[in-house]
Chain A
């Protein structure tokens, strides 16, 4: 094959896939990038078998064909080439020749046949989702993803579409680590495939790569499923991620229904107080105590080695007095992603799970287990 491409564009294409190529060397081919020259464009593919990316770029194709070369070395070479058009061609035995002005490189490639199969994306099976909605939902749930690798079915975000009574598809994303649970919801336009109605678990690494895509710019993304992978399409690039093989626990059962002691706090003030009180809590468990009564919330912490601290904030509350202990970090994580000015905290008693939701909003719900101190 042979193609000519602008240096800047080639460099951008290679830069994009650097984060994906395999750093470990279990399969040498995975540290390579697959370059495919078709009649009209150049396809650049990289995968580590968990997350993969395929993008198409315009290039002047002289002869079609495909080859794989080391992604890292090719990137380093292209980065240092003069700012001119690059002529990329293959020779016998998977050798590659790169010419740019008076510079010439010959590098060894690997046969493209060995490159892992990349799911063939069919656009009609994808549906549209707003980039900003997806980004917000990932933000609201990714903090609670379990980091214990042995609980593999919790190592990701569970995504499921529930059809509401008025026929609107509501996408729910759920994550939990056993101590806390977070649910984000958002309405989708259009129809979705059967996978989402059943529910899928998106892996942690894929989530972070997906978030990078949504960070870039607004607008619409295409989202869908293929074989055992989830697919995201933006412009001319696809990203695929392999789904987690497992069952997500029935999260509806852990959402308490009888939490009728509701207290509303100002998010900003409350999180500052919690942060202050957390200073004197133990390093490992970060335990702080909330005593809620008609007069307000008394937040306190104590540490036998350091001392104790106490702060009162005024709130409207007319229920029974209640005192409950939390890991301060869990509270702060929730407060930092809730987007309204005030949040509702719903309690039942000292040892039952508590709920935190943004005031007058259904887009987000967090459940936190209290601590025994």
Chain B
């Protein structure tokens, strides 16, 4: 039944968006986590989504979402002169994470709006199904 597909699709989108929100919050939390060298410093992470056919019910029309993977940003790390920092290297520099606050805030708002619209879809479908069950009463 196609209305049941809506629950799977909106559910997959909601879980994907919550992964995105999760990644954003860890980026924001680690925005100030400095490191002693390039490898150990935190790098901004980003999830990548891909469409996935829900072929279980044999209905090729319904397409859900899955998180394909989480990738670390390869942007250059900024260096800052902090000779008193215990993590500083021989020249007295520490590495700052390449987290862009503006990007992260925009990502957060986008993820929460997408999540909300999927919840709305789910609620509407639920009402449609309940109305169908009451048919003829």
A and B bind: no
Query: Which A residues fall within an 8 A CB radius of B?
Result: none
